[in-house]
Chain A
Amino acid sequence: MSTGLLDPGAIRPTVLARSNPVTKLAVATLLAVVLLLSVDVVTAGTAVLLEVLALPLVGLGMGGLLRRSAVLLVAAVPVAVLTVLVGVDSGAVLLDAGPLSISTGSLESGAAVGLRVVAIALPGVVLLATTDPTDLGDALAQVLRLSPRFVLAALAAFRVVDVLAEEWQQLGLARRARGLGGDGLLAGVRDLAGRVFVLLVIAVRRAAVLATAMEARGFGAGEGQGADRTWARPSRLRASDAVVVAGGVLLAATATAAGVLAGTWQLLLT
């Protein structure tokens, strides 16, 4: 699918990039769940290190990789700083300013939380960057056996992304030309709400037409009556997908083992 907003850009066909989208989803989920179990510097740090080492395998160019992963810091740094400042204190207190305080304990947990956020998000962000929406849809319907009607309708709707994004720009310009909106937070919020509303009206109208067109071409016919659906693009798991999953398991196991060996790994809520 060659849409502007969803275009993944140039991708080298590595094993990881060509693996089934469901495999990528499984690896990202596995890493997320395993890393969620504990908040500690060693586990999260090891995971981030291994993930960075594995980045060349993803198949993204240097530019794409940097652009995609830079946003992670936007999420991780504020969370880490926050935890340092207002998180639970322990150890020697380094700075005390009313509700905000820095201690060795909160410094460590800040680093742990920040690293953990990066470790959980990084695989998802870079793996998603090499995933084509059409391949994802095919995999969800054929490998995960989600209802084809819903998956295909969602895929059809994805084609509307660029149209709606363009409408969004147009709406902004049109409102501007009419003198709507303005400066300041309140005016900004009101302007945003107005644009969201009109966008939704356009979207629903377009969807009703799309539904009629799809139904006219037989979409949804014979559903639930045992009619067999055939697929233009078969999506199945290959041996290389097992290798990718094994890599993910190995990464998660190594990170957890490092944390356990260092004695910092502690199950959440215990």
Chain B
Amino acid sequence: MSTTSKSSASTTAEPPARRAGVIATAVAALAVVVVAILLWRGVAADPDNGSVAGPLVGVMTLVLGALALVGWRTAPRRSWRVVDIVVAAVLGVALGLVFTVWNLGWSPLSNALEFFPPVKGLFVGVWLLGGVVGGLVVRKPGAAVFVEVVAAVVSALIGNQWGFATVWYGLLQGLGAEVVLAVLLYRQWGAVAAVGAGIGAGVVVGVLDTTLYYPEFSAGLKLVYGASAVVSGIVIAGLGGWALTRALARTGALAPLASGRNAQRV
């Protein structure tokens, strides 16, 4: 996580910290280009409609990545205070426990859906809550990634069926949500941002799952799986996470944070 090097760049006008911020941005930009090229080539290799979809996916990734980087660099109040970091970490741990409960509940639920497997994607939304809730509650660049990764690490350390892979899933799911919040320039924290972040995370998990677990499905079934993952991201992670954050703010628990400040009721 390059978050601190970047946040310290904005708080202190020191040359080393600023240089670290510039380097981090350059690395991120390079990563965007590499991912865009890989996706372009990967999708273009599909014999059916790759010649159209390949460039489309590649250019979309580039544009999204560029917009997200702009959001990242221009975010207001970028530096993290101690209370932001600790609340995000504990929130991640709590959500990691929720993930663990869901890891156990997943098998019977998905077995019940055996008659039409691609619909299983409808249940992944719970694992995407970290990114949305983290982003909305802490309201700092990197919060979605940090909370989701901590939650994934807790879920993996307690012991699940996926091991270290959970950590990478967490990182990428968090990034999916983070990119959308960054494109919104870290200034939108309402239902729209929540749903957008849920979509971002849903797309990521749809792509990951179809690559890792269902590579031998037909393109149609893969699309159904991806779509149900996105729907789950919208409903459970997006709207659910938004409602959760609002309810949290109402209790006053978020008072020390940016998200609690304008939710105070007299």
Contact = CB atoms under 8 A, between A and B. Distances in A.
Nearest to B221: A86
B150 A128 contact: no
Contacts, number: 227
Nearest to B2: A147
Contact of A200 (B12, B16, B94, B163): B94
Contacts of A5: 158
B115 to A, nearest CB: 9
A36 B113 CA distance: 26
B76 interface: no
A253 interface: no
Contact of B162 (A125, A150, A164, A214): A125
A113 B4 contact: no
A224 B12 contact: yes
Contacts of A28: 163-165
A210 B90 contact: yes
A261 B51 CA distance: 32
A157 B90 contact: yes
Nearest to B17: A224
The interface residues of chain A, by DSSP majority, are classed as: helix
B216 A203 contact: no
Nearest to B16: A226
Contact of B90 (A147, A160, A224, A270): A160
A102 interface: no
Contacts of A113: 213-216
Contact of B163 (A6, A106, A124, A199): A124
Nearest to A87: B216
A201 B253 contact: yes
Chain B: number of interface residues, binned into ranges: 35 or more
A127 B211 contact: no
Given A204-B253, A268-B215, A199 B98 contact: yes
Interface stretch (B55-63, B81-89, B191-199): B81-89
Chain A: number of interface residues, binned into ranges: 35 or more
B251 A201 contact: yes
B1 interface: yes
A142 interface: no
Contacts of A193: 240
B3 A123 contact: no
Interface in B154-175: 154, 156-168
Contact of A149 (B85, B154, B156): B85
Interface string A144-184: 00110110011011101100110010000000000000000
Nearest to B150: A154
Contacts of B212: 36, 117, 120
Contacts of B96: 161
B158 A147 contact: no
A226 B2 CA distance: 16
B107 interface: yes
B86 A117 contact: no
Given A120-B165, A223-B8, A161 B86 contact: no
A204 B110 contact: no
B86 A200 contact: no
18 contacts: A75-B162, A83-B214, A86-B221, A120-B165, A121-B162, A125-B164, A133-B157, A147-B5, A149-B4, A149-B85, A157-B90, A164-B93, A197-B248, A199-B94, A204-B90, A207-B87, A211-B85, A224-B17
Interface of A: 5-6, 24-25, 28-29, 32, 36, 39, 68, 71-72, 74-75, 78-79, 82-83, 85-88, 106, 109-110, 112-113, 117, 120-129, 131, 133, 136, 146-147, 149-150, 153-154, 156-158, 160-161, 164-165, 168, 192-193, 196-197, 199-208, 210-212, 214-215, 219-220, 223-226, 268-270
Q: List 8 A-B pairs, minimum CB-CB distance, nearest first.
A: A124-B163, A224-B8, A124-B164, A147-B4, A207-B90, A125-B163, A157-B89, A203-B94
